Amino acid sequence: MIIDVNKLKQQGKTEESFTFEFVPARQLLDLPEASIEGCVRVNAYVRLSGKDLYSEGEAVFTVKGECSRCLEAAAVEVTVPFEAQFSLLSGADYPIKAGLADLTPAVEEAIITGSPMVIYCKDDCKGFCPNCGVNLNKSKCNCKN
C-alpha cells in the first residue's frame, strides 16, 4: 500500500483518497483458532502538509474462526480505523523513503490493536450449559438451573 508522495506533489495535489486490497503477510490476530479470511480492504485518505503526509482511514476484513461461546464456526466482518503521520525527518515512526510512504505497517498495527478478542456465531449465541455441556443453541438441557 504505497503512496507516491512525489507523484502527488507533481500533480499539484495536497490530498487524495485511495482504496487498496491486500492479503496480510503474517498472522495479525491474537484470537486462537481464528484468521483473516481473504483480503483486507483499506480505504485511506491522505493529506500533504509541508514535509509530512497525514493518513487516516479504515481497514475492513472478515475474521473466521470458532465461536467463543459454543465453538461452532463463526465469521464476523470487522472495521478498524487507523491514522498515521509519515515524515521525511529521521527517526519518524512512519518514514517517507525515496518519496514513498508505505501504509502497510500502520494498517497492520491497527488490525492488531483493533481486532476483536472474541467472535460469536450469532449475536444471541447461548453457548454451552455450564453443568452438562450441551450446546444450548441446538437443544435444551435437563439441568435444574
Question: Which residue spans within 7-102 are E strands per DSSP?
Answer: 15-22, 35-49, 52-66, 73-87, 94-97, 100-102
Residues whose CB falls within 8 Å of the CB of residue 33, separated by 6 or more in sequence, listed in order? 65, 66
CA–CA gap between residue 145 and residue 18 (Å, rounded): 54
Which cell is 60 given? 475492513
48-106: pLDDT as tens digits: 988 899 999 999 999 999 999 999 999 999 999 999 999 988 778 899 999 999 999 99
CA–CA gap between residue 42 and residue 60 (Å, rounded): 6
Asked if 145 contacts 131 with a C-beta cutoff of 8 angstroms, the reply is yes
15-46: pLDDT as tens digits: 999 999 988 877 888 777 888 998 999 999 99
In terms of pTM, does the model score above 0.85? Answer: no
